[in-house]
A and B are shown apart, each in its own frame.
Chain A
Amino acid sequence: MTQSSKVEQVREPQWAGTSPVTLTLADLVAGQRGIVVGFDGKGSELGRRLTAFGLVRGTEITVDRTAPMGNPRAYTLLGYRLSLRNEDARSVLLRIE
């Protein structure tokens, strides 16, 4: 599962092509604004769950705060706050504004 998704990440999705640097949500730093450009690990249950929380292509997201020990973190998107483990945030691909 993880193996195959690694392979997919190498072949960058077409629609992310406009951005020179693609980071993951886990790399987003407080104060930065990220725009979701895609997902690593297509067809996964996690990917589908994330869409229901508004994490789709084009959504703007910022870091709200970090839990003790640096994990999980809370993010602000669509006017509400969502907490995510860094492991899960890694599968969300971003472009930094």
Chain B
Amino acid sequence: MSRRSLPITTALAGNPNCGKTSLFNRLTGAFGIAANYPRVTVTRQVAETTHDGRTLRVIDLPGIYTLNGGLPEERVGRDVIHFERPDVVVNVLDAGNLHRSLFLTIQLVEMGRPCVFVLNMIDEARGQGITIDRVALAAALGGPVVETVAVSGDGVPDVLHAVVAVSQHQVNHSAPAIRYQEPLEGAIGRVQTLLAELRPASMTPEQSRWLAIKLLEGDTEILQREGEHDRLIALIGEIGERIERDHGEDCAHMIAHARFGFIDTLLRRVVQRTTPTPSLGHRLTHRLDDLLLHRWLGLPALGALMWLMFQATFTLGALPTVWINAAVAVVTGWADQAIPPGLTHDLIVNGVLAGVGGTIVFLPNIMILFFFMAVFSETGYLARAAFLLDRVMRAFGLHGKAMIPLIMGFGCNATAIMATRTIETKRSRLIAILAAPYVSCSARLPVFILFGGAFFDRWAGSVVFALYALSVLVALGAAVAFDRVLLVADAESFLMELPPYRRPALHSLAYQVWDSVQDFLRKIGGIIVIGSVAIWFLQQYPAAPETATAQEAMAASYLGKIADTVNPVFAPLGFGHNDTIAILTGLMAKETVVSTYAVLHAQEKGSEGLRQAIARGMTQPIALAFMVFVLLYTPCLTTLAVIGRESGSWRWAGLSLVCSLVVAWTLAYATGAIAETLGKLIL
């Protein structure tokens, strides 16, 4: 009976682009981020759901093509299935692309866990005239086969049903061993014998067969784990050498060839193609790619799409800003009246509301930016961007796939750095990680919009665009610099599937925008409120005598003293007290730069007042220098933490922090000086 109460651990495994994340969302009612771009699930996600009175604990594994352990995601997949031994493995396959998808399936079957096979995007496959004999396929693979369209939810209950049935052994699970021809079977046998000798009774026959195959395939990582067994390593080496000498092919290829041979035979039995002509979707993809991947027009088209994204972010985003401003004014006015004068009143009105109100106006811009990024990734265009730019990016020491993280960096640097996991070699990945923080994330946007509006009037848009261009240049420059400095060159490759274009699912787009909203609001509710209250407190205390002017009170406050200490560093750039404070608080998160100004100028009501107050504080060249500084110095604590985690060493996070401060200071100084000189020349 106790078995019934335990949750059924279910691992979702499949190729990138097979719709696994959509299925995960449908199964669990959770919302992960799906993308028509290879390897979007960079970390594993876990969610629970119930079916038929049973609880299912569903693990969404990263999308992988093989379990061979070359990539971090492949190791995650292999280790979850091997060590955590989930009750059921749900293998999601792209029904229209069975040939390649089944390669992973065979490896999963060989691992010996009970499996459910999901033929996803069955509608696309039918559109191609493909019919699949599910009964025969199920018999061959040793587990139930379910057809689904995860995006619309068709067939999803059947998956849950199959998982529960398999976990209760209602379905006869018999993993059919795939037989390899000689000399492989003999080799597998020899390794298994040695394994049994070295570790008696610790493994089932299926487990030891699986391990033997993995070792022969040259899974170096798993071989290292067997490091204490010199005899095992020697045997593998000996077998490998003999097979290569006798057959002119290494074990890994021989095994892969045998697997694809098995797949060929299987597909000939279970798949029928009625129409040999390409489907409408394929033809459309081809037409679109003729333009978007055109040898001469492809890059200009990419540039135009990026320009469209930023243009929309600024122009469309300006409209709702007016309404939000009005709403903030109403709430502030109401609070001003409702709360009796005193400390609480000041804390709420001049601290919390000023800080929150000053930041929340940028919500529409952030939503639009994330909407565009979601569309690019869901349609499959981001993979094309990587394809188009690989050659160009290599000139800067970056990998083509670094294109995706860098574009994602316009949204958030921390997620961008996590997305670098798709890059195969460590070195290219490290370069991308260190370059990513210079890409202007959405948190810098409020600062640019505020300062652009305050100082540059109708040129604001162009100034902001120039800052984005500068951010890309600095990121590329940083990549080149790190490329020259970092270690020796490393052999690297660029293997990427170009998926067909797919219409993005509305609920998924909505979710991604909603996620960015939540994230922004969480920041406002958390760090912005805390930061605002802290700034307000440090500014209010120690309490100045009634007679003191605002300026005298400010100078005597804790905040004034802190600013005094740090200010000399920024004095050469022309930054004043307030600017120094804003930069310091911005180290937590860039949005706090704006909320800090809002609190410091809490007397000036509304964003118009804030703008005017800031405009009085500095000249145009200094304002430019300030924007450049904010653009380039360390984005936020989160990003630093993620750099430390993803690069595997805090030294890299430290290096990133120091570099960004030096680069920001130097370029801000140069910008200010050049703008000053130019200004004098023109006037």
Q: Which residues of A contact B (CB under 8 A)?
A: 1, 13-16, 38-39, 42-43, 45-54, 56-59, 64-72, 74, 78-85, 87-88
Contact = CB atoms under 8 A, between A and B. Distances in A.
A54 B391 contact: no
A79 B96 contact: yes
Given A52-B65, A71-B390, A72-B387, 7 more contacts: A43-B244, A49-B66, A53-B65, A56-B257, A66-B295, A83-B390, A88-B494
B651 interface: no
26 contacts: A48-B256, A49-B493, A52-B66, A52-B256, A54-B260, A57-B253, A65-B289, A67-B298, A67-B387, A67-B390, A68-B296, A68-B298, A68-B299, A71-B391, A72-B494, A74-B387, A79-B100, A80-B100, A80-B497, A81-B497, A82-B498, A83-B497, A83-B498, A84-B493, A85-B493, A87-B493
Given A43-B240, A59-B260, A68 B391 contact: yes
Nearest to B260: A56
Interface string B388-410: 10111000000010000000000
A80 B16 CA distance: 13
B311 interface: no
Determine the interface band of chain B, counting residues with CB < 8 A from chain A: 35 or more
A52 B38 CA distance: 14
Given A1-B491, A43-B218, A72 B252 contact: no
Nearest to A65: B293
B502 interface: no
Nearest to A64: B498
A54 B497 CA distance: 12
Give me the 6 closest cross-chain CB pairs, A-B, nearest first.
Answer: A52-B66, A51-B256, A13-B248, A78-B99, A81-B498, A42-B250
Contacts of B493: 46, 49, 84-85, 87-88
A58 B257 contact: yes
A50 B70 CA distance: 12
Contacts of A1: 491
Contact of A72 (B96, B97, B299, B391): B391
B391 A48 contact: no
Given A42-B253, A48-B68, A78-B99, A69 B496 contact: no
Contact of B491 (A46, A71, A79): A46
Contacts of B70: 45, 48-49
Contacts of A54: 99-100, 103, 260
A79 B498 contact: no
Interface in B469-506: 491, 493-498
Contact of A39 (B96, B104, B253, B299): B253
B498 A74 contact: yes
A80 B103 CA distance: 14
Contacts of B68: 48-49, 52
A5 B494 CA distance: 20
Contacts of A45: 70
A85 B244 contact: no
B247 A14 contact: yes
B627 to A, nearest CB: 33
Given A53-B495, A58-B257, A84-B494, A15 B248 contact: yes
A53 B570 CA distance: 54
A65 B217 CA distance: 32
Contacts of A74: 293, 387, 498
Nearest to A75: B498
A63 to B, nearest CB: 13
Given A52-B256, A57-B257, A68 B295 contact: yes
A52 B64 CA distance: 10
B249 A42 contact: yes
Given A52-B256, A88-B493, A13 B390 contact: no
B97 A80 contact: yes
B95 to A, nearest CB: 11
Contacts of B299: 68
A46 B425 CA distance: 11
B97 A67 contact: no
A51 B124 CA distance: 26
A4 B81 CA distance: 36
Contacts of A66: 295
A72 B383 CA distance: 13
Contacts of A64: 498
A83 B248 contact: no
Nearest to B424: A49
A70 B495 CA distance: 16
A28 B497 CA distance: 19
Nearest to B67: A52
B104 to A, nearest CB: 8
Contacts of B96: 79
Contact of A67 (B218, B293, B495): B293
A69 B392 contact: yes
Contact of A50 (B217, B248, B495, B498): B495
Contacts of A68: 295-296, 298-299, 388, 391-392
B248 A51 contact: no
B250 A47 contact: yes
Most chain B beta carbons < 10 A, residue from A43, A50, A83: A83
Given A43-B240, A48-B70, A83-B498, A67 B391 contact: yes
A83 B256 contact: no
Given A53-B65, A54-B103, A72-B400, A43 B252 contact: yes
A15 B387 contact: no
B288 to A, nearest CB: 12
